[in-house]
């Protein structure tokens, strides 16, 4: 991946249903609004997201399906998807480590694709009803990472209550310190 100099980010979550797709759509729209050329890829066979994202980013969307593509083909697809763009956004499928554990890797998971492509992961967490456990959760996901880094965290669906937001802000800062 030394030839790939386009910045890229892998948006994955702790599980399905944490808001990855919505975050990716919003990020793509905002970057396009600011004049950036955005390439997009989805991990797994996620054709519905591909159709929506193609309309938003104005480029073909690549599907990284490990059942159809080898690691080398995914690397080549990553390079081809990013040619002529300012950033490549990869949307995950299910949870970061949701796959079959095999010899230190989670086959068929977002973590495997992130490892192959050496793409930093932004972890999305449904933070409803969470407090200090968010830091432990983030640290655990980062500690298991192999071949890639969990570089950032998005706490989604945060409570509108001021005291809970203040607690999460503190926990969030501690979690990010643990990720570096």
Task: Note whether 91 and 8 are within 8 A (CB).
Answer: no
Task: Note whether 113 and 31 are within 8 A (CB).
Answer: no
Task: Note whether 110 and 95 are within 8 A (CB).
Answer: yes
Rounded CA gap, 113 and 107, in Å?
Answer: 9
b/e per residue, 125-161, with b = 16+ CB within 10 A? bbbeebeeebbebbbebbeebeebebbbbbbbebeee
| Tens-place pLDDT, residues 66-90 | 778 888 898 888 888 888 999 999 9
| Tens-place pLDDT, residues 47-61 | 777 788 888 888 989
């Amino acid at each position: 991946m030394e030839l790939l100099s386009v910045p890229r980010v892998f948006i994955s979550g702790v599980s399905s249903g944490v808001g990855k797709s919505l975050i990716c759509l919003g990020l793509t729209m905002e970057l396009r609004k600011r004049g950036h050329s955005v390439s997009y890829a989805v991990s797994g066979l996620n054709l519905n997201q591909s159709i929506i994202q193609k309309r938003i980013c104005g480029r073909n969307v690549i599907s990284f399906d490990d059942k159809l593509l080898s690691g080398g083909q995914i690397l080549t697809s990553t390079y081809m998807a990013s040619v002529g763009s300012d950033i490549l956004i990869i949307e995950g499928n299910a949870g970061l480590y949701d796959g079959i554990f095999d010899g230190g890797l989670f086959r068929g998971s977002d973590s495997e694709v992130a490892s192959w492509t050496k793409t930093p992961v932004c972890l999305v967490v449904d933070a409803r009803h969470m407090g200090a456990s968010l830091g432990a959760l983030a640290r655990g996901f980062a500690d298991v990472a192999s071949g890639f880094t969990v570089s950032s965290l998005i706490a989604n669906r945060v409570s509108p209550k001021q005291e809970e937001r203040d607690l999460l802000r503190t926990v969030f800062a501690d979690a990010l310190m643990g990720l570096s």
